[in-house]
Amino acid sequence: MMMMTCKVVLLQVNFISDAYNNTLAEHFILVAQRQSKVRDIVDTAFVTLDENTLVAEAAKALYAQERCTIVVTHLNAGTDQRIPVGIITERDIIFRVVAQNRGPFKVTLKDIMSAPIITIDADKSVEEAMEILNKHKINRLPVVHDSSIIGIVTTGMIMSNISIEKHADT
């Protein structure tokens, strides 16, 4: 079992007692366990749809496949390949369509997707994935291998591979 210290997620947790109005500081460090590469934790089951797909159809696809994320693609006419151009979550559908009374049978994915798409190579470390997620304030990160998206890694996946160990002050 390989252990790796994640310096980007070093925490100092302060416990505050209202009754005594004092602050007790205890130091913890998060330690990545089991896997150290993104390829080891990637979820390879994900939804990919064309940018011209209606939001209503996309919601049905998410429901049918029990997923939360769609990688939005564009067909490159010159190469006949699908190029990832954006990402949409179930939250995007709720906030950008439903809550704004926009018709899901009128709005397409390209109208509500987050773009440009931010990705990480499958051979990068879990630590690097966490840095990207934190830097861009996102929770889902498409994983690329040989220029193709092979899956998605989430904050939750990374955190499920983390343990918290208490360390004495130095």
Residues 29 and 99 in one domain: no
Q: What strands, in cross-sheet order, belong to the sheet with 81-89?
A: 47-50, 69-76, 81-89
Residues 67 and 141 in one domain: yes
Question: 13 lies in which domain range?
Answer: 4-35+161-166
Winning range, highest mean pLDDT, from 10-14, 28-32, 33-37? 33-37
pLDDT-derived band of residue 16, with 50, 70 and 90 as boundaries? very low
Residues 95 and 108 in one domain: yes
Question: CB–CB of 29/43 below 8 Å?
Answer: no
Helix or strand (DSSP H, E) at 148: strand 148-154
Residues 22 and 56 in one domain: no
Pairwise CA distance, residues 144 & 153, whole Å: 11
Residues 139 and 108 in one domain: yes
Taking residue 166's Cβ as centre, other Cβ atoms within 10 Å add up to: 9
> Would you say residue 109 has pLDDT above 80?
yes
pTM of the model: 0.70
pLDDT-derived band of residue 148, with 50, 70 and 90 as boundaries? confident
Those residues with Cβ within 8 angstroms of residue 4's Cβ, 6 or more apart along the chain or in another chain: 31, 32, 36, 125, 126, 127
Residue 135: CATH number of its domain: 3.10.580.10
Residues 29 and 74 in one domain: no
Residues 18 and 90 in one domain: no
Average pLDDT, stretch 21-48? 64
Winning range, highest mean pLDDT, from 101-105, 144-148, 161-165? 101-105
How many domains does the chain contain in total? Answer: 2
Residues 24 and 42 in one domain: no
Residues 24 and 100 in one domain: no
Pairwise CA distance, residues 10 & 86, whole Å: 31
Residues 55 and 18 in one domain: no
Residues 28 and 86 in one domain: no
Average pLDDT, stretch 97-115? 95
Residue 113's nearest CA partner among 94, 138, 96 is 96
Q: What is the pLDDT of residues 53-97, one digit of tens each?
A: 999 999 999 999 999 999 999 988 888 888 889 999 999 999 999
Ranges of beta strands (E only) in 7-139 are: 11-17, 22-32, 47-50, 69-76, 81-89, 120-121
Residue 47's nearest CA partner among 38, 58, 56 is 58
Residues 16 and 91 in one domain: no
